[in-house]
Amino acid sequence: MIKYYSVLGVWLALASTGLCGNVMDRHFSPEEQALWDRHLYMFTRLPEQASGHSIAKVATPKGTVACLDINFGREDYAAAKAAGVECAMRGLGPKAAANELLQKASERYPGAPYFITTFMDAASVAYNAHNAKP
């Protein structure tokens, strides 16, 4: 089954195969590795889908091209939210929580600024929601 998504104004046809449980799992198939080596990859955040990677078909004005799609999905969002709530439950202030969350994100996604930022965004939303006054 092929699903169509619009990411940054580009229509994608994503095949639902080839996903794995961790967005930073780099156990690529030979086809995926070839796309990675040629720098034909993109990062997405689709929390309703599984975290991982798959080959996407990107429609361009010159035709359709294959691209490796690495998704920050539901498992990654769950980990980020849990980390944010944990910081709030421990009573950490905003600065201490941000430092701890940044350390966790950097350990989980070494050398991947997009995923570090996305983790921080999801974790801070959970932290702030837990600390919100009713």
Over residues 3-41, the pLDDT tens digits come to: 344 333 333 333 333 333 344 556 888 999 899 889 898
- Three-class SS state of 10: strand
Residue 10 CA to residue 62 CA, distance in Å, equals 13
Show the domain range for 12: 2-72
Q: What mean pLDDT is reported for the chain?
A: 81
Query: Are 12 and 36 in the same domain?
Result: yes
In whole angstroms, how far apart are CA 26 and each of 7, 20, 92?
22, 9, 33
Task: Look at the chain and report how many structural domains it folds into.
Answer: 2
Quick one: 37 and 10 in the same domain?
yes
Among 23, 45, 72, identify where a domain stops: 72
pTM of the model: 0.75
The whole-angstrom separation of Cα 29 and Cα 112 is 20
Q: Would you state the pLDDT for residue 62?
A: 86
63 and 82 together in one domain: no
